[in-house]
Structure formats: C-alpha cells, structure tokens
Structure 1
Amino acid sequence: MSLFGNASSAASPANATQGDTSKDVQVKDGPEDSISDLAFSPMSEHLAVSSWDKKVRIYEIDAQGQSQGKALFEHEGPVLNCAWSKDGSKVFGAGADKAARMLDLGANTTQAQQVAAHDAPIRCIETLQIQGNNMLVTGSWDKTVKYWDLRQAQPAMTVNCQDRIYCMDIRDSMLVVGTADRYVDVINVNNPGSFYKTIQSPLKWQTRTVACFADATGYAMGSIEGRCAIQYVEERDQSSNFSFKCHRQNLPNQRDGSNVYSVNAISFHPIHGTFSTAGSDGTFHFWDKDAKHRLKGYPESGGSIPATCFNRNGNIFAYAVSYDWHKGYAHNSPTYPNKIMLHPITGDECKPRPGGKKR
C-alpha cells in the first residue's frame, strides 16, 4: 500500500521540476490561530504543532495521511517553537510567556510541567544529549541560550549571545544559533559554554531561519530578502559556501523588478540530505545543495508558509499555511488560511541530482 493511497506517481519528464500538491492532505482540527512551528517525532508518525493560540497539539498520522488529535497542552501566551525528546516520549513548547513546558505522553495527564524560564519570550527550543545526559536547550529574546537538566529547576549553564535569538537548530553535537544583527554562533555541545565559531551572516538582511545539514558539516540559513546561504563550518570547506536567490516573483513588464519574500523555513531531508525552503510567497521548493540545483518547485498554497518539517523516514513533508506576521498585526484577517498540509514524498522528488558533487 503506497503512502496516501495512490500518490506514487512522479512528475512527468516534460515538466520535471514542477511539483504536484494535488495529493496533499490537510490535518484535521488544526490550530485556531497562526502556526509557529511543526515537529515530527523521531520515533513515530506523530506531529507536534505550536501556535499563537497558546497551545501545542500532537497528531497521529496514518499511512493514508489521515490525522487524529492525540493530546495538547497550553501555555500562558503564544507558543513560538516545539520539539520532541529523543525517545519520542515527551513534547516541549517554548513561548511568549517566557517559559518552556513539557508534556510527558506516557504520564496519562494533560497538564504540562514548566521546565525552563527566561527573562523574555523564548523563541527556540531543542533537545540534545551532553555526555550521555538528556538535556534541553532554549534560546530567548533576552539574548541568552540556556541548557537545562530536567531534574533541576535552574539552568545547568547560560551562554550570553550578541543579541536576541531568532532561530536555532541542532544536529549531532553541532548547535547553530542565529541572532539579531545577523550574528551566527556555532557551538560544539561537547563544550557547551563557548562558541566554536562566530560569523556575521553573508546575507545582508535579517536572519529568519537556520537548519543544520543532515551530516552536521554546516548549515543553511534564510533571510527576509528571499535569499538562502549554504555555510560549512570548517575552514577547509569554506570554498563550498554559496548563496542563492529564492522566493522571489518577477513583476510583469519589468525587466529587473521582482517582489521579494522572506524565507521562513528550511528543513533537511533525513535520508537524502537535500533540503526544502518555504516562504511568505506561499511556495515551497526542494533543493540539492551539492549540485546547486533546484529539484522541484510547488504551486502557491494560498497563504504564507511559516513552518515545515520532514518525518523520520523522509516520506512525509508537513507544511503550515498561515499568517506569518511579516506585515504586522494589521494585515491579519479571520479569513486568512490557517492549516497544516501533509505532502507525500514520491519518486525522485527529494533525491539528489544524478552526477552531483558528493561530500
């Protein structure tokens, strides 16, 4: 039985880079306000969703792409990020209430436990292991990154950054933190209290999102001016760094004019190492960084895409369609789309381009 029923057909050779969203399935009973983050469990087909309606919801997804709500917990303000424990037993949320909260899915309770606190809204949350211990790391607009041992009320360590934390990602022992004023800090979590490397983004405008390569040799970052940068960490690989334009729309009858949109989300495929970008223009694309090639581009979804993620096997790509606040509260509307879509990965959609450079 194929995923999502009869969704196994790939794009026709005549239009090989045009993606198809006709088999995409909407998640039932979605959030009541803008969606801020999506995270699949590393152990099962469960999707966590954080939202501006102050809730984190957990859905179970079956082989036909049908969804069922399984649990939820609440914050005291908009939830800005969510994450799973490595064993898939716990879900975490981080929010504007300056708190991080945890729901233990095996504890038979809907009450979330507060597990972290900052002096300003917590923008980012990730789980990690340090010396065999399961830990939590949070990044806040109070300009700090904090590590938390869930057995203790106080942070195990605090790292002061240059400015407010806007985005963060972790892969293996590499933690990448993007802040205001375009700083990017790379931390080796085996030495969690110091920066392994700090740069200012090669992109000229505000950093919006960052995602680590599947092999943890570098990261991709997106900015508000429709550009993405591929950055390797080690000096020996710096010649492979590059940036490219994306999420721009050419204006009719203007030779050089284009509308420029924010790159809101970047997600790496867990198997193939290719990646997606999604933006305020309502589109998403799949890319092969080694071949410097766009694999697929998809039609507009009817609203901005603020968040994306692949499941653990890489055969489902989840994307949220909702207001991303890039024009402020005055441009939000009750009629704006607010939904989560599940896209079945089929054929060669996310496979690297044949003959591309291998690392």
Structure 2
Amino acid sequence: MWPLLSGGQPVPVAMHDGPIKEIAWIPEMNLLATGSWDKTLKYWDARQSNPVHTQQLPDRCYAMTVKYPLMVVGTADRNLVVFNLQNPQTEYKRIQSPLRYQTRCVAAFPDQQGFLVGSIEGRVGVHHLDEAQHNKNFTFKCHRENNEIYSVNSLNFHPVHHTFATAGSDGAFNFWDKDSKQRLKAMQRCSLPIPCSAFNNDGSIFAYAVCYDWSKGAENHNPAAAKTQIYLHLPQDAEVKAKPRAGNAGRK
C-alpha cells in the first residue's frame, strides 16, 4: 500500500505463499481481497499484518471480480466460485465455466445478478445466477481473425450504460450489449495485444494497455517492437449506448 497523502513509503499489506494474481479493494467492507496461485483467497485489513480471513479455493486463482455483495473467482480447471460478501466465509455457489478452455477474466453484472467470463479461446460466456434466468445464458465468439483465435484478456462494464467492453490478444477492443446480443462497435486493431483495460468512473474514458503478452511465447518476443503503451479512448454514445431491441419500435 502506498499512502499518497502523507507522502510515506509503500508498505506491505498482503502476503501469499504463491504469486498474487488478483487484488480488489472492497470499500463496503474496508478490506482488501487477494487471490493467489497458492489456491487461497485472503481478506486483509491494511492496519493488521495477518489476514482477517483465508478462504481455500479449489485451484489457483486466475481471475476475480467484485460488485458488492457479489464476488466471483475464476480458478484453474475452469472453476467459477461465487461468494456473497455478506457471508464471505461460505461459498455461495460453485459452477463449471460454460467455456471449454482456461478462464482469463470475469466481470460481475452491474446489478449483481450474474457475470461475464472470458477464455483463452476467444469466447465470452454470459451467466445469470438465478436459475429462473438461465434461459438468458449464452456464449459468443470474439477476438478471432480468419483462422487465428486469440485470448479474451479483459472484460469491463460501462458504469453508466451497462454495456461492456472486451479486449484481447489480437490487439482489438470491442463494445457489446449483452441484453440485445449485439456488438455495438468494433475498433481497429493495434499492432500488439491488449492485456488489460478499464473504464473510468463515469465511462467517459476507456483506458487500455498495449504490449506483448507472451501468448505466443518467448520466440515471438521482439524487444525492439514490443513497446509498452497506455492509450485513452473517449467513447462516443453510439459506441457504448445500448440500441433499442428489435421489435420495440413504436412502443412507449
């Protein structure tokens, strides 16, 4: 933790026995959550050296999303572990990913009623937690070019319009509407992969990083060309605002 206001030095606030893959600050609990390859999820009070709670995971943590009280942790072996943070010491539900290949990213719905999951196979799953809504679950292909399949590295919901963005190892990002099952906008590809991305608090800026992501191994790494850049895109309403569903024209 780096206390900016006091100008102090960074101090360690969390520790695991393996690499820490995901972190999330949960303001409603005033706690930090960390997910690790040591197969644990830990909650930390930054004022204490020991975790408030350690939760065993079925496998290594690969992805995590929090939209209080919903938390979803994606682990190796395609497990998706759902927690209700009002009772964080008990798993709410554990499901197998609707995607057949390794989980890369997850994103909770803004209304906490479900989540998105993205995989290395250029595919995204839309999953509702309420079994009565399971007829709305579906998967779709993305980040594919001809016969090349690229990983979906990042999923982010727009904070106002509740559409979402995907970013992938093909160097592209796209905006989608899950309710109408439409792609709203496909952006031109960058020369290198996009490993991560995020909207700012009001959705007026979409930030994304561009760099080599090692998805094609060390032999394809060119240090001279693999420059790391961060870009800011200013989304237009037409790119991120949900379009009326077919059949709703003329209704009030």
TM-score, shorter chain, exceeding 0.5: yes
Question: Do structure 1's residue 282 and structure 2's residue 180 form an aligned pair?
Answer: no
Question: Do structure 1's residue 117 and structure 2's residue 6 form an aligned pair?
Answer: no
Q: Which of these residues, 336, 339, 344, is aligned with residue 226 of structure 2?
A: 336
Contact 1:167 1:178 in 2 (8 A): yes
Deviations 1:312-352 (A, max 9, x none): 01010001101112122332221213100000112321001
For 2:137, give the aligned amino acid. N
2:184 corresponds to which residue? 295
Question: Do structure 1's residue 160 and structure 2's residue 49 form an aligned pair?
Answer: no
Q: Which of these residues, 199, 221, 239, is aligned with residue 349 of structure 1?
A: 239
Q: Which of these residues, 44, 51, 60, is aligned with residue 148 of structure 1?
A: 44
SS of aligned partner of 1:348: helix
Question: Do structure 1's residue 265 and structure 2's residue 154 form an aligned pair?
Answer: yes
2:209 corresponds to which residue? 320
Cα 1:357–1:271 shift into 2, 3 Å: farther
Contact 1:290 1:356 in 2 (8 A): no
Deviations 1:68-126 (A, max 9, x none): xxxxxxxxxxxxxxxxxxxxxxxxxxxxxxxxxx11111113x2110000000100000
With structure 2 as the length reference, what TM-score do the two structures score?
Answer: 0.95
Question: Do structure 1's residue 202 and structure 2's residue 98 form an aligned pair?
Answer: yes
For 2:27 and 2:239, how far apart are their aligned partners in 1? 32
For 2:240 and 2:73, how far apart are their aligned partners in 1? 26
For 1:320 and 1:181, how far apart are their aligned partners in 2? 27
SS of aligned partner of 1:123: strand
For 2:205, give the aligned amino acid. I
Deviations 1:137-176 (A, max 9, x none): 0000000000111121100101101100001010021011
- How big is the alpha-carbon RMSD for the aligned residues of Structure 1 and Structure 2? 1.5
Moved more, 221-230 or 234-243: 234-243
Cα 1:341–1:182 shift into 2, 3 Å: same
2:77 corresponds to which residue? 181
For 2:175, give the aligned amino acid. F
1:129 CA drift (Å): 4.1
For 1:301 and 1:357, how far apart are their aligned partners in 2? 36
Aligned length: 247
Deviating beyond 3 angstroms after TM superposition, the runs of 4 or more aligned structure 1 residues are none
Contact 1:128 1:135 in 2 (8 A): yes
For 1:141 and 1:305, how far apart are their aligned partners in 2? 23
For 2:227 and 2:5, how far apart are their aligned partners in 1? 33
Moved more, 330-339 or 238-247: 330-339
Deviations 1:191-242 (A, max 9, x none): 1011101101010000011111111111111100110000111212111110
2:24 corresponds to which residue? 126
Deviations 1:1-48 (A, max 9, x none): xxxxxxxxxxxxxxxxxxxxxxxxxxxxxxxxxxxxxxxxxxxxxxxx
Contact 1:215 1:273 in 2 (8 A): no
Runs of 5+ unmatched residues, structure 2 = none
2:198 corresponds to which residue? 309
For 2:242 and 2:49, how far apart are their aligned partners in 1? 45
Cα 1:178–1:320 shift into 2, 3 Å: same
1:108 corresponds to which residue? 7
For 2:219, give the aligned amino acid. A
1:62 corresponds to which residue? none
Deviations 1:214-272 (A, max 9, x none): 1111111110011000011121211111000001112xxxxxxx211100111110001
For 1:104, give the aligned amino acid. P
1:240 corresponds to which residue? 136
1:41-52 counterparts in 2 under 5 A?
none
For 2:124 and 2:246, how far apart are their aligned partners in 1? 19
Cα 1:356–1:179 shift into 2, 3 Å: farther
For 1:217 and 1:268, how far apart are their aligned partners in 2? 13
1:356 CA drift (Å): 6.4
| Percent sequence identity over aligned pairs | 49
For 1:330 and 1:123, how far apart are their aligned partners in 2? 24
Q: Which has the higher contact order (CA 8 A, sep 6+)?
A: 1
For 2:241, give the aligned amino acid. K
For 1:105, give the aligned amino acid. L
1:191 corresponds to which residue? 87
